Structure 1
Amino acid sequence: MRIVFIICAAIAMTACAGTGRKAAIIPDELSIIAGRLASEQFSGRGTGTAGDSLAALYIRDELKKAGARPFAGNGLQPFSVNVAVEPGSNNRMAVNGREYLAGTDFMPLALSANASLAAPVVFCGYGLLPSGDTLHRDDFSGLDLPGKWALVLRGYPESDPAAAGYGRLSSDRIKVLNAREKGASGVLLVSGEKWDPGDNLDRPSRSEARSGLPVLQVKRSVADSILKDSFMTLSELEKRSAETDSRAVFATLTEVDASADVNKKEAVTSNVVMMLPGSSAPDEYIIIGAHHDHLGMGGQGSSSRVPDTVAIHYGADDNASGVALMIEMAERLAAAGEPFSRSIMFVAFAAEEMGLLGSKHFVDNMGIDPAAVNLMINLDMVGRMKEGNGLQVAGVGTAAGLRDTVLAYSDTSAVRLSFTSEGYGPSDHSSFYGKNIPVLSVTTGAHLDYHTPADTPDKLNYEGMVKVGDLLYGVVSSVADSPERLAFTEAGPREPAGPMSRRRGITFGIMPDFAGNVTNGLRADFVTPGKPAALGGMQKGDIIVAIDSKPVSNIEDYMFRLGQLKAGQTVSVEVLRNGTREVLIIQL
């Protein structure tokens, strides 16, 4: 036996030498790949940027060198995303016939619809509505808003004893949705002196879901011209609106004639899709994935933790580390000798930071039946293994025996594993879990440099990344060659716990369409059996268009509506099913 082992090892070493590929994961090579991706050349790999495109080409070429070949075409899977918005040419505003200048006196917001409105203006204070048992303020009570503009102060009254509670309900979007719910046909937002002493206009940049109303931010001078005939100033109203015993809301004597024009700016980005063909079961797949995008230059509207800093966000751990490990794993798997029974696919996802858009596009356009995928392994932030060698592994409950498989290949002296059964999480594996595909998602955890320019390659633990790769090599090899397929098991919810639903514990039990593939409404990509939506008759593919007769145009509307609900409440939910509008009654 010893002689046979030595001969086989020698043959394998010869084969590896012949291809130049190594049957081991090398720290120095991990450092080269991660360092290149997280360098100034790629400028933070912001979705749709030149750095993003360069990263995709680099990853494809490195996977080719590792021994993988394109799954289809040239190995790139391009798709379009809305990366930004910019003011159009049809922005105008007149107050009682006096013209104001776009960009100087007013600015359309990114959430605005492209629409015009000539109508009277109603001042609505801070635009707040009651919430829960402790927040009772209603700035819309008694106002006649249908067909009119709502003039609303941005922010919240800091002098109000309940100010801390209102802070989470004071975003521009929530105020606009509040006004829309009360019948307003357009919204004018203005910053009081306490909220923004500089009275700066926010130029629309990042793309976000439209509200269905024209929405303009106006300077205080414009607001004062609106209030002039009512013998009021914004400064006075800001003070009065902050008082708890006095509601300064009223219909003005002024008409505003305005148009909002905001154009979406699209860009093309690409997933990278490469593979090692299988032998006896080439039409069955193991997928190893890692997102290649990051935050570019950061700034306002990005998810940077230092949004006032415009600088390269290198994204070394998030997620150059995952991509580098995927490429090195591809090389080691290619150097294994005989092909594995099942094919192994390597996917570098684009636009993860924008809401899992790349993995969502991939699972909807794989070109294979999702049932052919035996397992998806996601690598996201695997480069900061700390003292103690901790590794978090999520998804072990999504297939029978998956946890045991991981344990079988773990060297407890090298890594200390912590497990989570659930298949849903804030990374690309969630898109696969929604397609009934068993998943594993591994990470070494968060750190203070997360989503800041300080996430640099010099801070990565490359020896720790080798430990992660060695563990996963065993898992992949076992699953790729096993005569038995993994059997998918439901493990936890398929929807996010958004800020509103977390606070109140309210959930329908659906996995929403994060990519916004429908233009009006929110599609349920999965309906969890036994949860309120399923018990109320909702089906996969239903498009939610209203909750309790209040419109739902997108995922932001959906989360906002959830935040208004209470446990035990019964709500009517209007859905489009195969083009037909139906009403469901759902008990929460």
Structure 2
Amino acid sequence: MAVLVLGWGVLGCLAAIRPTHAVEPNEMSLPSADASLGIDLRAAMIDDLKFLTSEKLKGRSSIDSTIFEAAEYVGRRFRSIGLETNVFGDSPLQIVDISVGPKLASEEQNFLTITIAGKPVVIADSNATDDASGTESLALERDFVPLAIGTNSGTSQAGLVWVGYGIRAPEHRYDDYAGVDVQGKVVMMLRKEPGANDPTSPFDGVDNSRHAFFDTKVSTAIDQGAAAVLIVNDPASIERMVRDVQKRRDAERDRLAKTRQRLRTLPEDAVNSREKLQSQIARIENMLADMSSQVEAAERGLLGVGGAGLSPRRGAEKTAGVATGDSATRPPIPVLSISRELANRLMPKPLEAIEAAIDSNWQPRSFPIANVKVQLGVEISPSTVQSPNVVGVLPGRGNLADETLVIGAHFDHVGMGEFGSLAPDTIEIHNGADDNASGTATLLRVAGEIAQLFSGPNRPAHHRRVVFIAFTGEERGLLGSKYYVQHPRFPLSSTVAMINMDMVGRLNDNELTVYGTGSASNFQSLLKQSNELTRFRLVEVPSGYGPSDHASFYEAGIPVLFFFTGLHSDYHRPSDDFDKLNLDGMDRITDMISQVSERLATSPERPVYVKTDSSVKIRRQLTVVIGVTLSQKPSGVVLSSVVASGPAQESGLLAGDQVVKVGKTSITTIEQFMDQLRQRSPGDLLPLLIRRGDAELRFDIKLRRR
């Protein structure tokens, strides 16, 4: 994939977005005037949500060009609020390089030429229109693909030796290299190992042993002095590859049919919906066309450039007693995946016959291939794309102006679902309304409220600088926040705290989870004060760790608070859409976070960092009902009432029963019981141990959908 180099219009030029130094305090000026005072923040939040979840952004993948459209929007909104956006040169963007794996250079640099008795091997061209041009030279990505598990750059020219599965396994008295000289030669081998799916195989047959691993095979070839490796896919792997692609293709064909049917049934006046469905149909048709070529590649057995992993562990076979001792010092060699059709052209008998012969008695069948010469070259480079963090600043005032409060949320999601989706068989836009358009829109609204408060006539005389950051790359491993921490715009030593919002759009049962409550000594009291008006049922998690951007700051020694409304069944799926958001809940969460932010920005005392436990469980929302109300008693959790015709009553539970255990877990608090319910799905059986009087009784409660 090519590096993204995009123009920036109102946000300035990418060439200017390079400063990564920490600047001195008071380097920026205050917003010009009360820029945010006239904004209807609720209406703006809804507009933000609708834009961020729109089809045009295609799920806001951090490696797709649409992430820049989203970033440009957030940058404009920061400016409209009144924040300083000339943060990196004349832009709010901090550019992050995101690795997307290896990529091939030109066809001229990645080539394969094979001759048999001096004549070049050619492959029939299925697209040829006349017999005279029905064959052509070996083609990149049709007949062969260089693999990143080998050297990134190199050429080779040598004779060819067939080495079976490329295995040396003295523990099984099996050695494909016995009796053949591969020094300086190109070796051709099969993927996997003898007797796949045969439980009588000495290599297990059911599960792959280490001898089936790509890096084991390549390292063994290096150890034996081979100049290059050609890998031929095995029939079972090809069948699985084809089946997987066909499954995805069939799912897209089904989605296309359903989308066309929806289009046919739309009323004439549904213009916007019609345009949206037509756009979806065009995208699906394009994907289906691409999938046809994917099926063809799978049928040929070709791996992708990164399909065998990266460069192998040097000396991996030393621990197995099969290395000669110098493989760790040998340089990597070129490795190519070649089609079975091409491999069959080079062999004296069909591959299937040779595979069957090896599997018949578990004995190698290796030999030099006479009169065959191979010339090849590979040129593979790491591939990165540029992706932006978006930063807006409200400068500080007075005695606290030298210190910084960071408020952030990631604005990327999983795009079309190719990376990170929990609906892996569907290539469809994942709009990510809750994850994390909700956090981004809340970030913008909090920014507006703080800007109003700190820019109005009654603004405080002393407050910290507030830095608002929309992070990219969170879904790929907190990449944007990690980059900011490594290249802070303002010194981390003067950064007093970080507030993070990730998935705050599905408030349920008035339950708001806050992580990091133990990451500073005063955070619990701060939350209690801030919750006096909003009156959430707060679930406090002391740890400052977890799978979101606050963790990057906490690991750098900065206290954090992370606001979260819980995982749900639409998480990382195409169904996480705008119409499922709890907008009233987001209003109240904004109020809560704004109060916490104001206190952290104005309090003379700096929060004191506290080390917390790194083991964190991410809370799920409750999706089941059991049909009881609970009371916390000194003795434990008691059923205060049982709902008529509910699962609990139908199973025989009574008011006054005390919960002793759920499964093997002892229950002493209501929160422990609720945590057990959160782990269950509708239809599950909840195993309960109940104390009734002096007796202990066991029940299996079939849970219903909430």
Output the TM-score relative to the length of structure 2.
0.57
SS of residue paired to 1:445: coil
Instruction: Say which of 557, 560, 566 aligns to 1:436.
Output: 557
What residue number does 1:325 align with? 442
Instruction: Say which of 93, 97, 111 aligns to 1:92.
Output: 111
CA distance in 1, matches of 2:47, 2:205: 50
| Matched ranges for 1:552-563 at <5 A | none
SS of residue paired to 2:94: strand
CA distance in 2, matches of 1:417, 1:123: 64
Post-superposition CA distance 1:433-463 (Å, at most 9, x none): 2322222233223333333332222222222
What residue number does 2:498 align with? 376
SS of residue paired to 1:286: strand
| Matched ranges for 1:375-524 at <5 A | 375-385=497-507, 387-410=508-531, 414-492=535-613
Whether contact under 8 Å (1:75, 1:272) holds in the other structure is yes
Instruction: Say which of 235, 238, 258 aligns to 2:352.
Output: 235
Are 1:55 and 2:70 counterparts?
Answer: yes
Are 1:116 and 2:232 counterparts?
Answer: no
Whether contact under 8 Å (1:296, 1:313) holds in the other structure is yes
What residue number does 2:336 align with? 216
What residue number does 1:585 align with? none
Instruction: Say which of 302, 306, 327 aligns to 1:201.
Output: 302
Instruction: Say which of 262, 268, 277 aligns to 2:395.
Output: 277
SS of residue paired to 2:402: strand
Whether contact under 8 Å (2:191, 2:231) holds in the other structure is yes
Q: Which amino acid aligns with 2:449?
A: R
Post-superposition CA distance 1:17-63 (Å, at most 9, x none): 992146xx63x543321110111222222234331111111001112
CA distance in 2, matches of 1:104, 1:200: 10
CA distance in 2, matches of 1:21, 1:352: 29
Q: CA 1:147 to 1:18, structure 2 compared with 1: closer, same or farther past 3 Å?
A: closer
What residue number does 2:141 align with? 103
What residue number does 2:37 align with? 19
Post-superposition CA distance 1:277-302 (Å, at most 9, x none): 22221121111111222233333xx2
CA distance in 2, matches of 1:277, 1:153: 63
CA distance in 1, matches of 2:588, 2:224: 57
Post-superposition CA distance 1:406-437 (Å, at most 9, x none): 34433698534334443333222232223222
Greater helix share, structure number: 2
What residue number does 2:471 align with? 349
Name the larger-Rg structure.
2
Q: Percent identity?
A: 32
Whether contact under 8 Å (1:88, 1:263) holds in the other structure is no
What residue number does 1:34 align with? 49
CA distance in 1, matches of 2:480, 2:389: 6
SS of residue paired to 1:107: strand
Q: CA 1:43 to 1:122, structure 2 compared with 1: closer, same or farther past 3 Å?
A: same
Whether contact under 8 Å (2:188, 2:232) holds in the other structure is yes
SS of residue paired to 1:195: helix
Q: Which amino acid aligns with 1:91?
A: N
Whether contact under 8 Å (1:159, 1:242) holds in the other structure is no
Post-superposition CA distance 1:386-420 (Å, at most 9, x none): x3243333333332233443344336985343344
What residue number does 2:426 align with? 309
Whether contact under 8 Å (1:207, 1:264) holds in the other structure is no
List alignment gaps of at least 5 residues for structure 2: 1-32, 122-137, 240-298, 313-331, 617-706
Whether contact under 8 Å (1:83, 1:266) holds in the other structure is yes
Q: CA 1:169 to 1:122, structure 2 compared with 1: closer, same or farther past 3 Å?
A: closer
Post-superposition CA distance 1:284-336 (Å, at most 9, x none): 1111111222233333xx22334443332222222211111100111111222
Whether contact under 8 Å (1:434, 1:494) holds in the other structure is no
CA distance in 2, matches of 1:318, 1:20: 29
Post-superposition CA distance 1:70-109 (Å, at most 9, x none): 2623222234444463452211223455453222211124
Alpha carbon RMSD of aligned pairs, Å? 4.2
| Matched ranges for 1:56-205 at <5 A | 56-70=71-85, 72=87, 73-83=90-100, 85-89=103-107, 90-95=109-114, 98-99=120-121, 100-109=138-147, 113-118=152-157, 120-121=160-161, 123=163, 125=165, 151=188, 153-154=190-191, 159-160=197-198, 166=208, 186-197=228-239, 198-204=299-305
Q: CA 1:445 to 1:33, structure 2 compared with 1: closer, same or farther past 3 Å?
A: same
CA distance in 2, matches of 1:75, 1:382: 24
Q: Which amino acid aligns with 2:391?
A: V
SS of residue paired to 1:336: helix
Alpha-carbon offset, residue 16 of structure 1: 8.3
Whether contact under 8 Å (2:176, 2:364) holds in the other structure is no
Post-superposition CA distance 1:258-293 (Å, at most 9, x none): 222234554332211112222221121111111222
Q: Which amino acid aligns with 1:201?
A: L
Q: CA 1:258 to 1:314, structure 2 compared with 1: closer, same or farther past 3 Å?
A: same
Whether contact under 8 Å (1:126, 1:139) holds in the other structure is no
Q: Which amino acid aligns with 1:193?
A: P
Q: CA 1:69 to 1:16, structure 2 compared with 1: closer, same or farther past 3 Å?
A: closer
Q: CA 1:382 to 1:18, structure 2 compared with 1: closer, same or farther past 3 Å?
A: closer
Q: Which amino acid aligns with 1:125?
A: Y
CA distance in 2, matches of 1:111, 1:298: 26
Alpha-carbon offset, residue 224 of structure 1: 2.9
Q: CA 1:292 to 1:217, structure 2 compared with 1: closer, same or farther past 3 Å?
A: same
Whether contact under 8 Å (1:152, 1:188) holds in the other structure is yes
SS of residue paired to 1:69: coil
CA distance in 2, matches of 1:269, 1:183: 42
Q: CA 1:159 to 1:270, structure 2 compared with 1: closer, same or farther past 3 Å?
A: same
CA distance in 2, matches of 1:462, 1:43: 23
SS of residue paired to 1:19: coil
CA distance in 2, matches of 1:308, 1:493: 33
CA distance in 2, matches of 1:277, 1:413: 28
Post-superposition CA distance 1:197-235 (Å, at most 9, x none): 323534559998666653322111223345x25x5x433
Between 60-69 and 445-454, the greater mean CA deviation after superposition: 445-454
Q: Which amino acid aligns with 1:298?
A: G
Whether contact under 8 Å (2:517, 2:524) holds in the other structure is yes
Q: CA 1:379 to 1:107, structure 2 compared with 1: closer, same or farther past 3 Å?
A: same
Post-superposition CA distance 1:135-192 (Å, at most 9, x none): x999889779886666555578762556775499978678767877998765433332
SS of residue paired to 1:359: helix
Instruction: Say which of 46, 49, 58 aligns to 1:43.
Output: 58
What residue number does 1:246 align with? 362
CA distance in 1, matches of 2:219, 2:569: 34
CA distance in 2, matches of 1:393, 1:486: 17
Q: Which amino acid aligns with 1:346?
A: F
CA distance in 2, matches of 1:182, 1:349: 48
Q: Which amino acid aligns with 2:38?
A: G
Whether contact under 8 Å (1:83, 1:265) holds in the other structure is yes
